[in-house]
Amino acid sequence: MKKSFLSHIAQTSDAPIGLEISHAKGPYFYTKDGKRYVDFISGIAVSSLGHGHPKVIEAIKEQVDKHLHVMVYGEFVQKPQVEFAELLIAQLPASLEQVYLVNSGTEAIEGALKLSKKHTGRSKFVSFKNSYHGDTHGALSVTGRDVYREPYLPLLPDVHFLDFNSFEELNIIDTSTAAVILEPIQGEGGIIPADKKWLQAVCDKCTEVGALLIFDEIQTGFMRTGSLFAFQQYDVTPDILCLAKAMGGGMPLGAFVSSSEIFKAMKFNPPLNHVTTFGGHPVSCAAAHANLKELLDGDYLNRALEIERTVKQKLVGDGIVEVRGKGAMLGLQLENWELTKAVVEDCLEKGILLGWTLHSNTLIRLAPPLIVTDTLLDEVLATILESVETNYAGM
């Protein structure tokens, strides 16, 4: 199987993890050889209720028996789309009143960029250094990481990158700006939360010049940070909200959310401004509806905050610089690349999957599922801490 995987599945790196997955349940996934792993990054912030939550699976099975794809997004009235949209909009400020359902986070960003250009009649974008918004050309154009951008230059023109959390240069946001796009907590950039006063200043500047404010909550959304959406902790409401990852409960789904007034621009000149064949797939929407209902019915807001308190309390010691972030979206900063690599590899050998990339080479991303028990959380943290201490002592 692995030989065929390497031969026939196009690879994203020359060193894929290569675990052969048999099945997954709750906080665990299992490999063909019978080994069990704790998924401590939730499929990169996707499986917030763990793998195969029974209510999500039930909704998927029920919808599969009714119908799969029937028409491109936006033409037919489909109950799973409507029910999910109603529940989602009920949780949002009045200005975020309509949902445009797509396939993924990067498509949500693409749609938001197009919508902001169409609504304002402007073409300039302002983004921030070390941001990450996706890998398609538009999303990549507003991603503030040269390592991703440079191989594909030239990208969209008139994109300006400012320092995150810096009040300097905000005047670059002017009357030629279509939109400012940002993550309330930078993910790939190192789990860096936005400063509240700074974020409010950015919002005020957008209002002053008539630019739209786009929040990329693809990773921060759906209670990962201790509120349903991170913007709710900042007393700021974006003009366009981009969502994906945990929204589908493990099924592929993305969305951008805005006002009916702003969305008017997508209906004309020409109609069908952003056609998406599989956007809002009924099975994905049924899963998303069940997922959101469970998140709202349970005590997951407090659970995210409990996870944050426990992790920050227990991951302290030699070799650890800090733990930062909010809720269950956390970054463990270690002293050097060698230590980080050793800890990630050691923990994988011991059955714990952690998040780490060469582009954030001293940061381990921690995004446990919100259903993780106290006992399992304590066991994983003890293993991580032991690994840090052992490897640090050996350097």
pLDDT digits 0-9 by tens, 230-248? 999 999 999 999 999 999 9
The average confidence (pLDDT) of the chain is 96
How large is the average pLDDT for residues 338-350? 97
Enter the tokens of residue 363.
């940061």
Q: Is the pLDDT of residue 14 over 90?
A: no
Q: Which residues on adjacent β-strands are paired with residue 364?
A: 332
Greater pLDDT, 272 or 340:
340
Strand spans (E) along the chain: 21-25, 28-31, 36-39, 98-102, 124-128, 159-162, 177-182, 185-186, 192-193, 212-216, 240-243, 254-258, 320-326, 329-334, 352-353, 363-366
Cβ 307 vs Cβ 328: under 8 Å = yes
| Contact assessment for residue 8 and residue 39, using Cβ atoms and an 8 Å cutoff | no
Instruction: Taking residues 279-301, report their average pLDDT.
Output: 97
Cα-only R_g, the chain: 21
pTM of the predicted structure, to 2 decimals: 0.97
Residue 268 has pLDDT above 90, yes or no: no
310-317 contacts, C-beta under 8 A, 24 or more apart = 310/374, 310/377, 310/378, 310/381, 311/366, 311/377, 311/381, 314/378, 314/381, 314/382, 314/385, 315/381, 315/384, 315/385, 315/388, 317/385, 317/388, 317/389
Nearest Cα to Cα of residue 272 among 80, 118, 122? 118
Residue 358 clears pLDDT 70, i.e. is over it: no
The Cβ of residue 169 has, within 10 Å, a number of other Cβ atoms equal to 12
Are the beta carbons of 49 and 56 closer than 8 angstroms?
yes
Asked if 241 and 281 count as a contact pair (C-beta separation under 8 A), the reply is: no
What pLDDT does 394 receive?
84
Beta-carbon contacts of 393 under 8 Å, excluding residues fewer than 6 positions away, are: 318
Q: What is the mean pLDDT of residues 316-335?
A: 97
Indicate the pLDDT class of residue 270, thresholds 50, 70 and 90. Answer: confident
pLDDT of res. 271: 83
pLDDT at 325 over 80: yes
Give me the pLDDT at residue 269, please: 87
Mean pLDDT of 54-66: 98
Question: What are 257's two structure tokens?
Answer: 């959310």
By percentage, how much of the chain surpasses pLDDT 70?
A: 99
- Evaluate if residue 354 carries a pLDDT over 70: yes
Residue-wise pLDDT tens digits, 24-34: 999 999 999 99
Orientation of helix 374-393 relative to helix 337-349, angle to 10°? 130
Q: Which of 231, 237, 374 is nearest to 310 (CA)?
A: 374
> Is 9 a residue whose pLDDT tops 90?
no
The owner of tokens 């996934």 is: 29
Give the orientation angle of helix 282-297 with respect to helix 54-64, to 10 degrees.
150
Rounded-to-10 torsion of CA 31, 37, 41, 45 = 50
Q: Which residue has the higher pLDDT, 269 or 315?
A: 315
Tell me what the mean pLDDT of segment 132-138 comes to.
96
Is the pLDDT at 388 greater than 80? The verdict is yes
Nearby residues of 164 by Cβ (< 8 Å), 6 or more positions away: 128, 129, 130, 131, 182, 186, 189, 192, 194
User: How far is 304 from 204, CA to CA, in rounded Å?
Assistant: 30
Burial of 151 (0-12, 13-18, 19+ CB in 10 A): exposed
- Rounded CA gap, 303 and 309, in Å? 10
Q: How confident is the model at residue 307 (pLDDT cuts 50, 70, 90)?
A: very high
Go through the chain and tell me how many residues it has.
395
How many CB atoms are located within 10 Å of the residue 4 CB?
8
Average pLDDT of span 241-267? 97
Instruction: List, in order of start, the domains of the chain with CATH numbers.
Output: 2-52+300-393 (3.90.1150.10), 55-297 (3.40.640.10)
Contact 251, 290 (CB under 8 A): no
The whole-number average pLDDT for the span 134-141 is 97
Strand pairing partners for 24? 29
